[in-house]
Structure 1
């Protein structure tokens, strides 16, 4: 199934069209003979090495993560996250699982949305990276949410929760860094209650040719330099840019969500597809 999706991505590439396309072709050849390999940005690595290197990336950027998000997006990521929460439509007395949510951005918004209506919810934040969770805990204290969130270190591919436990599962800008996205989606389906909702906010594909080229030039030439100047880390931000380009497009990811068992799957583009909100229900 993975190779089928990979080959679909190759259809948009012309022979020798770009370094990215040549890299995709090389990876396809490699993956077709070695199923224990995956990508880390534009590099081909073992699955174990990817997990270790992704962990190190977020360990490195944790302290500057929020600041860099503001700088890289000129603060627009805050509007995207607000749109995401409004699309989810928090309901009182729900049980939310926020995956890869270490710094708490989504959980804080979810709780604040309800607090404005004098309502409440049970929130659990899960992240594989303890450094990110530490940042989130500190922010929770400053925002007055220290008693409303449970923080759990764990792997989204093997959630430490029982079946049918949560009403809502959110993941924002995290799923593209996970090694086996299909396993992550199946675990999301398992822990959601019948009627529960899966909601994902992730960078996606810009279809407009002119805007895509502009976006690519900014991403590859500016963002890693910002990472070096502000966070002292060029390589981590180079990987984060490359990981966006390796993530499936809107239609392909929607198909993956459906294959995991979700119904009423749809997506909404933000800023011409720079980001997209994906949604599905466990029926």
Structure 2
């Protein structure tokens, strides 16, 4: 039985999806992924100050345009442990940041990121790939790398509480998305994993509890009737 939370398994999965992940994120969310990005990043506010900003599990850089607009004078970093995601995001990095982005291929659960360094931490659609013990490590890392008063915001596709919406959403992610995955990848199983992760993750409530235990003030957020949820807040 494969361990779907094993970092090497997750890395290979996202390596394989790297060529089409941005398009599929849009499709799996019925086109809401862009709106949810704007909403969850809005929790971080905006500033013209020279801040240190890092986008975790950065994928293909889908957050970068919004972050650049909201923090025009910041020093930016992005981290992902999928080498192919990193490689495929380089053209966007050049386009958005004109070479002024530190692009890091590391595992956030065992990274070399500096302590008490970042003013802003963002992360979209990565929480579901962590089990509870890994979320504990993640929360400790967020607390470690943030400055006091530094802000964070996470968003994740979630299992809606409304039963009718849940039935429809489950069918869509479990049946329609793999077919589209076959169209884009020739392999429907990779994108079928997105629903498996989502169903096990459920929502961001457990993440909120874990983050609150690690010197972090946390708000719980719901987007579109719970089809996405998130946590945001700051380091005490």
TM-score by length of 1: 0.77
Per the alignment, residue 97 of structure 1 pairs with: 54
Q: Is the 8 A contact 2:135 2:207 kept in 1?
A: no
Q: Does 1:247 align with 2:201?
A: yes
SS in structure 2 at match of 1:168 = strand
Per the alignment, residue 45 of structure 1 pairs with: 3
Per the alignment, residue 68 of structure 1 pairs with: 24
User: Structure 1 residues 167 and 229, CA, compared in 2 at 3 Å: closer, same or farther?
Assistant: same
- The gaps in structure 2 that reach 5 residues or longer are none
Higher relative contact order (CA 8 A, sep 6+): 2
User: Structure 1 residues 46 and 120, CA, compared in 2 at 3 Å: closer, same or farther?
Assistant: closer
Kindly report structure 1 stretches of 4+ aligned residues shifted beyond 6 Å. none
Q: Alpha-carbon deviation of 1:81?
A: 0.6
Question: Number of matched residues?
Answer: 233
Q: Is the 8 A contact 1:257 1:280 kept in 2?
A: no
Q: Is the 8 A contact 1:224 1:234 kept in 2?
A: yes
Structure 1 residues 57-95: Cα deviation after superposition (integer angstroms, max 9, x where no partner): 111110111122233334221111111222211322221
SS in structure 2 at match of 1:126 = strand
Compute the RMSD of aligned alpha carbons.
1.8
User: Structure 1 residues 77 and 52, CA, compared in 2 at 3 Å: closer, same or farther?
Assistant: same
Residue 168 of structure 1, aligned match among 103, 120, 138: 120
Q: Which moved more, 1:130-139 or 1:176-185?
A: 176-185
- The gaps in structure 1 that reach 5 residues or longer are 1-42
Per the alignment, residue 129 of structure 2 pairs with: 177
